[in-house]
Amino acid sequence: MKRALASSLLLTLAIAGCSARRSEPVAGPFQAASPEVQRGEIVFDRHCSQCHPGGEKGIAPAINNKPLPGFLIKFQVRHGIGAMPSFSREQLGDEDLRDVVRYLKALRRH
Ligand code: HEC
């Protein structure tokens, strides 16, 4: 009985230890370093976060963990490859998109 308990405890620990890293702030909470990045965060929260929560994997893949160049991010947003909807300039202005890209790059460095 005691052994069964101990091994199930070990199993739980092993599973917990192997689970993928989540958003635990390893480097402290994200702090926007410039007004542009801060604006980008607001725009991202409004337009992107429902599918990419905080840049992490939601119903869409994570985008805070890969070195996507800015033009690819812009292309993805304007043309909506795959299951992602596209965003027109009326929905999301060029300046807003530029700030979103800055925000995502800052998030990745974080
Ligand atoms: C309605 C949900 C939804 C919204 C809103 C959304 N996305 Fe996406 N996004 C997706 C999905 C789904 C994919 C995966 C597309 C595929 O490859 O099929 C994706 C993929 C991406 C990729 C490519 C990721 C890769 O691995 O190459 C980028 C970059 C991206 N999104 C950025 C954004 C940005 C920036 C916004 C806000 C302007 C946004 N997305 C809003 C659903 C969404």
Domain boundaries, the chain: 32-109
Residue 96 backbone dihedrals phi, psi, to 5 degrees: -60, -45
Q: Is 28 in the pocket of ligand 1 (CB under 6 A)?
A: no
- pLDDT the model gives residue 80: 95
d(CA 22, CA 92): 29
- The pTM of the full predicted model, rounded to 2 decimals, is 0.79
CATH 1.10.760.10 fits 32-109, yes or no: yes
> What is the CA(6)–ligand 1 centre distance, in A?
44
For residue 87, report the distance from its CA to the centre of ligand 1, in Å: 11
Give yes or no for residue 48 CB within 6 A of ligand 1.
Answer: yes
- Cite the DSSP H helix spans in the chain: 2-18, 35-47, 70-79, 94-109
pLDDT score recorded for residue 72: 94
Mutate to test the pocket of ligand 1, among 42, 44, 45, 51 (most ligand atoms within 8 A of CB): 51
- Given this model, what pLDDT does residue 91 score? 96
What pLDDT is attached to residue 2? 61
**What pLDDT does 26 receive?**
62
Query: How confident is the model at residue 4, as a pLDDT?
Result: 60
Low-confidence stretches of the chain (pLDDT beneath 70): 1-26
- CA atoms in the 13 A half-sphere facing the CB of 64: 22
> Can you give the pLDDT at residue 11?
43
Give pLDDT, residue 19.
47
